[in-house]
Structure 1
Amino acid sequence: MSQSLQTVPYVDLKKYAGKWYEIAAFPQWFQKGCYCSTAEYTLTDKGFVIVENNCNKNSINGKQSNIKGKAFVEENSGNAKLKVQFFWPFKAKYWIIDLADDYSYAVIGHPKRKYLWILSRTPTMDDAIYQQIISRIKEKGFDISKIKMTKQQLKKA
């Protein structure tokens, strides 16, 4: 894929902060056996963002597993390009490539298109919105056949 990956023009980190549910993703070794995956972003006054990823291991009701890291905003990226660090000294590119106007969903990608996460503020996403996101991801050059839906625990009404 020769075209460079475009991010959204600007991210308001105050609006982006908070809890997100993983709707779908490219499976990654470090998320093996994860169900009900969530990510929480907390702004600090030190110029970085605390990232806490949680999931239940091996089943929806499995033991909770979590990892904390830091995200650093790349200068002049409109806050859309971050570098996330869970293990020093390694930093991974975390680019926000799609974002709802109301911050109800976000899509995170990697410039080499090896990582992809579709996140939502709720554990489920309207299928029409999901299909529109998938269509835009495909236009950006991602292999949509690699996307796997994430099982989320749905609260009984």
Structure 2
Amino acid sequence: MIRPLFLASLLVLTACGTVQRDRNAPITSVAQLDVNRYLGLWYEIARYPNWFEEGCVGVTAEYALRPDGQISVRNTCREGALDGSVDIANGIARVEGPGKLSVTFTPWLPFARGDYWVLYLTPEYDLAVVGNPSGRTGWILARTPTISTEARERAEAALQANGYDLANLENVAQVSE
């Protein structure tokens, strides 16, 4: 069963929350995003606190191409513990520009879309940093449940380069491969 708060909160990714970045600092998405290479399963390694993921661990996001050219989004959260109950939120993303997507979890509400900007992406498409201009959300995502210290440092440097303060970045417990 989908936890109502988890789903409701995803209506608009940036609707409320603490600003985690200096909004006077420039924010830049990646210049190129090959959507087909970005598709697939991503593990949430770290995030800025947000109420819609409160208590969530083992968080993953899976992206797949839809027949209409948009992208299906399936976010999975385990409540409280890695063996906790599973919450799933399904959404739809569309490309808005280079490295910029908008996501909705309520497609029947056209105004309920949130910015999803890929701020950093390795050439191998195995590590990504995602945020948005409001600075209320930010994530480090990887293709594996754990990353090296060097990869973590690169991701954190990308957050800082986009005005994010690392003080509130929190690790997300993940399952083993």
Interval of TM-score (by shorter of Structure 1 and Structure 2): over 0.9
2:114 is the alignment partner of 1:92: yes
CA distance in 2, matches of 1:65, 1:95: 24
Give the CA RMSD over aligned residues.
1.1
1:106 corresponding residue in structure 2 = 128
TM-score norm. by structure 1 comes to 0.92
Is the 8 Å Cα contact of residues 128 and 155 (structure 2) preserved in structure 1?
A: no
Distance 1:64 1:86 in 2: 17
Pairs aligned (count): 152
Structure 1 unaligned spans of 5+:
none
Give the letter aligned to residue 109 of structure 1: G
How high is the TM-score relative to the length of structure 2? Answer: 0.82
Contact 2:119 2:158 in 1 (8 A): no
- Letter matched to residue 57 of structure 1: E
Which whole-Å deviations, capped at 9, do the CAs of 1:93-130 have from their partners, x for residues lacking one?
00000001000011110112111010000000001110
Looking at both structures, which has the greater relative contact order when contacts are Cα pairs under 8 Å and sequence separation is at least 6?
Answer: 2
1:10-66 CA-to-partner distances (Å, cap 9, x unmatched) read 111110000000000012111111110000000112021000000111111101111
How many Å apart are 1:3 and its aligned residue? 3.3
Q: Does 1:10 align with 2:29?
A: no
What is the distance in 1 between the residues matched to 2:158 and 2:128?
Answer: 12
1:55 and 1:2 map into 2 onto residues whose CA distance is 32
1:58 aligns with 2:77: no
Cα distance in 1, alignment partners of residues 151 and 171 from structure 2: 14
Helix, strand or coil for the counterpart of 1:133?
helix
**Residue 152 (structure 1) aligns with:** 174
Pair 1:24-2:46 in alignment: yes
Q: Which runs of 5+ in 2 are unaligned?
A: 1-22
Partner residue of 1:42?
A: 64
Runs of at least 4 residues of structure 1 off by over 3 A?
none
- Aligned partners of 2:49 and 2:169 also within 8 Å: yes
Query: What letter matches 2:128 in structure 1?
Result: A
2-side partners of 1:43 and 1:28: how far apart?
A: 27
